Chain A
Amino acid sequence: MPNRTAVHPELYSPDLADNPSLNGGKCRACGYVFFPPQRYGCESCGAPPEKLEAVQLAGRGTLHSYATVHLYMGKDIEAPFTIGLIVLDDGPAISSTLTNRTDEGLAIGDRMKSVLVAASTDQEGNETVELRFAKAGAGK
C-alpha cells in the first residue's frame, strides 16, 4: 500500500484528506492561542515552555485577504498561485497557499477550510501532500 507523507508533518497530520486540523499551541498561563506550534515560550506573556500545550486548531476560518503570486523563484510550486490570509475560528491569523490557482471567484469574507492536496507522487504511488485552504461550500 502506498504511503502518504506530509510536507510539514509538524504542522498538520496527513491522515485526513478533508478539513484536517492544524497543530497549534496554547499558553496555560494567559490563554494565548498560536500557530505554528513552538516550544520557546509564550509570545504574549512570556511564560516558559512548560506552560505551553499542544492544541488542535480547527482547519476553518474566514478569508481576510488574498494575493495571486506571479513571480516566484522557488521550485516547490509553479506561479501563478494564490496565498490567502485566513483568520482561523480558533483565533490565530495564518497564511496558506489556496487551492485556487488565481484569485478568480475569491472574496474577502469567504468561509475557508483546510484540505490536503497532492504535491507530488513517486513511481510507487507514494504521495506527498501539503495543506492548503479552499473555499468551504455553502452551508458548511
Chain B
Amino acid sequence: MKKNLRDMRPVYVVGIGLHRYQRLSETPYVTLGLTAVRQALADAALEWRSVESAYTGTVLIGMAASRPMLRYLGATGIPMAQVENASASGSTAFRQACIDVASGLTDVSLAVGVDKPGPFAMAPGKARMRDLAGSRLVPFTHFALLAQEYMTRYGVSAQQIGMVAVKNNRNGANNPYAQRQKARTLEEVMAGPAISGSLTRLQCCPIGEGAAAVIVASDDAIAQLGIDRNRAVRVIASVTKTEQIYRGAKNFDAELTRETVEQAYREAGIGPGDLDLMELHDAFTIEELLYVEAMGLCAPGKAAGAIAAGEFDIGGRCAVSASGGLLAMGHPIGPTGAGQIAEITRQLRGEAGVRQQPNAKTGLAHMVGVGAVCVAHILRKGA
C-alpha cells in the first residue's frame, strides 16, 4: 500500500548551516559548501562520520560536485548523489534525505545545496521545440504577464505588488545570510530600472552564490547520538508534483502550487490556518500574491490587501518569507530550497532573533522549478 512521509518513521531536522548568499566571488564552491555543512554538524553536535548519506542540490557548478567537496570532512564511503531540479534542487535534495531516514535506509542524512553563477545549458531548449516568442520570453516576462493579468482582474496596482519587495527586503535586512540586507521604501522598489511590464529590478530576485545544509535524523539517532531533542523539528509532509495540462490561459504556476500544497496539508493533517510562517518561491513579487492565494491563506485577489494590513509580516498571522525570501535573501538556485528549511527550523526552535515569528509552531517551505515542478514541505516544532 502507498504511504506518505507521516506513515513512515518520523524524520527530524537536527542541524542547519548556511554560507551567506552573495554576489559571485573567487570563493571556491568547496568553501561555500563546507562552511554550511560544518555549521550544520556543529548545530546538531554531530560528527561527520555519523552522516550516512548525502545529497547535493546544485544546478550550475557541473558534474560530480559532491565528493570533491565532502571528502574534506573525512572520507567515510557513504552514498552521495547530485540532485538537479532547477530552482527546486535544494528542496528535492532535502526530500531525498528525508526519504532515506523515513524509510530506515539511514539514521542520519545530509542535504546540502551549493552553487555559483556561471554558464548553463537548459535541457528544455534541446527538446527541439520552437515557439513564437522564443528567447524573448524569459522568466521575468512570464511573471510580468501574470502581474498584468492579476492587476487587471482584481484592480490591484503595480505599487501594491511592489509592497511584497518592501516587506521581504525589510526581513532580509535582519538576516546575516541574505544577499540583499537593506530595507527599501516603496519609492526605491518602484524607481526601477524597469525590467519587464510592471516589474522593476528590486521586484526580481538576485542570483548569487552560497550554500545551505540541513541534517535530518531518526528517533533512534536522536537517542543514540545524544542529539538535543528540544531543538529537533519534525518534517510532517513532503510532497512534490509536476504540472498537468491546464486548458486555455489558466495560470499553471498557481494551479501547480494549489495541488501540491493541498496534498501537503492533507498529509500533514493541517489547513492553511495552522501555518505560523512560510518560505515561498518569490523570485518575482507577483508570485507571493499568487501563491498565498493558491495556498488558501486568503481569498483570490485579496493578497495585496492582506500584505498592506501586515498579515504576512513577522508578528502577523502568518509570516511570509521572514528570511527575506528569494527577493532579499537571494536565489543561488541549488541552495535556495535547503535555505528555506534552515530558516523555518530556526524559527520553529525560537532561535531567529530579531526575525522571530512569535510562537511559531508550524511552517511550510515551497519552491517551484522550471519544468514545471513544485515541492512543498511542512515542518512542526517539537519531537
Interface residues in chain A, defined as those with a beta carbon under 8 Å from any beta carbon in chain B: 8, 10-11, 32, 35-36, 38, 40, 43-44, 64-72, 74, 76-77, 81, 83, 85, 87, 91, 93-97, 103, 108, 131
Q: A66: which B residues are within 8 A, CB to CB? A: 145, 148, 197
The secondary-structure label for the interface of chain B is: mixed
Q: By the criterion CB–CB under 8 Å, are B245 and A44 in contact? A: yes
Q: By the criterion CB–CB under 8 Å, are B132 and A131 in contact? A: yes
Q: A40: which B residues are within 8 A, CB to CB? A: 127
CB-CB under 8 A for A96 and B248, given A67-B196, A70-B195: no
Other-chain contact of A96, B132, B147, B249 (Cβ < 8 Å): B132
Total of A-B residue pairs, C-beta within 8 Å: 89
| Cβ of A68 to closest chain B Cβ, rounded Å | 6
Contact with A along B261-289 (1 / 0, CB 8 A): 00000000000000000000000000000
Distance of A87 Cα from B249 Cα, bound (Å): 6
**Segment 133-166 of B: residues with Cβ below 8 Å from A:** 133, 135-137, 140-141, 144-149, 152
Interface residues on B, range: 20 to 34
| Cβ of A129 to closest chain B Cβ, rounded Å | 13
Most buried by B among A10, A44, A81, A95: A95
Distance of A87 Cα from B250 Cα, bound (Å): 10
Q: B1: which A residues are within 8 A, CB to CB? A: none
| Cβ of A94 to closest chain B Cβ, rounded Å | 6
Q: B133: which A residues are within 8 A, CB to CB? A: 83, 95-97
Q: By the criterion CB–CB under 8 Å, are B148 and A11 in contact? A: no
Q: By the criterion CB–CB under 8 Å, are A67 and B132 in contact? A: no
| Cβ of A100 to closest chain B Cβ, rounded Å | 13
Please provide the 7 A-B residue pairs with the shortest distance between their CB atoms, ordered closest to farther. A67-B197, A67-B144, A65-B149, A95-B133, A93-B249, A64-B249, A65-B145
Q: By the criterion CB–CB under 8 Å, are A36 and B152 in contact? A: no
**Segment 51-108 of B: residues with Cβ below 8 Å from A:** none
Q: Report the nearest B residue to A95, measured CB to CB.
A: B133
| Cβ of B203 to closest chain A Cβ, rounded Å | 12
| Cβ of A66 to closest chain B Cβ, rounded Å | 6
Q: Report the nearest A residue to B131, measured CB to CB.
A: A36
Distance of A11 Cα from B145 Cα, bound (Å): 23
Q: By the criterion CB–CB under 8 Å, are A83 and B136 in contact? A: yes
Q: A38: which B residues are within 8 A, CB to CB? A: 129
Distance of A85 Cα from B248 Cα, bound (Å): 10
**Segment 313-343 of B: residues with Cβ below 8 Å from A:** none
Q: A8: which B residues are within 8 A, CB to CB? A: 130, 132
Q: B144: which A residues are within 8 A, CB to CB? A: 67, 69
Q: A67: which B residues are within 8 A, CB to CB? A: 141, 144-145, 147-148, 196-197
Distance of A117 Cα from B271 Cα, bound (Å): 52
Distance of A95 Cα from B140 Cα, bound (Å): 14
Q: A32: which B residues are within 8 A, CB to CB? A: 245
CB-CB under 8 A for A97 and B132, given A65-B145, A71-B193, A87-B248: yes
Q: Report the nearest B residue to A40, measured CB to CB.
A: B127
Q: By the criterion CB–CB under 8 Å, are A108 and B149 in contact? A: yes
Could you pull out 13 A-B pairs where Cβ atoms are within 8 angstroms?
A11-B131, A36-B129, A36-B131, A36-B132, A65-B152, A66-B145, A69-B136, A71-B195, A77-B136, A85-B249, A94-B131, A97-B132, A131-B132
| Cβ of A76 to closest chain B Cβ, rounded Å | 8
| Cβ of A5 to closest chain B Cβ, rounded Å | 15
Q: By the criterion CB–CB under 8 Å, are A65 and B146 in contact? A: yes
Q: By the criterion CB–CB under 8 Å, are A43 and B245 in contact? A: yes
B247 at the interface (CB under 8 A from A): yes
Q: B141: which A residues are within 8 A, CB to CB? A: 67, 69, 83
B24 at the interface (CB under 8 A from A): no
Q: B127: which A residues are within 8 A, CB to CB? A: 40
Distance of A131 Cα from B134 Cα, bound (Å): 12
B191 at the interface (CB under 8 A from A): no
B225 at the interface (CB under 8 A from A): no
Distance of A3 Cα from B44 Cα, bound (Å): 70
| Cβ of B255 to closest chain A Cβ, rounded Å | 13
**Segment 244-259 of B: residues with Cβ below 8 Å from A:** 245, 247-249
Q: By the criterion CB–CB under 8 Å, are B129 and A70 in contact? A: no
Q: Report the nearest A residue to B197, measured CB to CB.
A: A67
Q: By the criterion CB–CB under 8 Å, are A70 and B132 in contact? A: no
Q: B149: which A residues are within 8 A, CB to CB? A: 64-65, 85, 108
Most buried by A among B132, B133, B144, B193: B132
Q: By the criterion CB–CB under 8 Å, are A91 and B196 in contact? A: no
Q: B148: which A residues are within 8 A, CB to CB? A: 65-67, 103, 108
**Segment 150-207 of B: residues with Cβ below 8 Å from A:** 152, 193-197
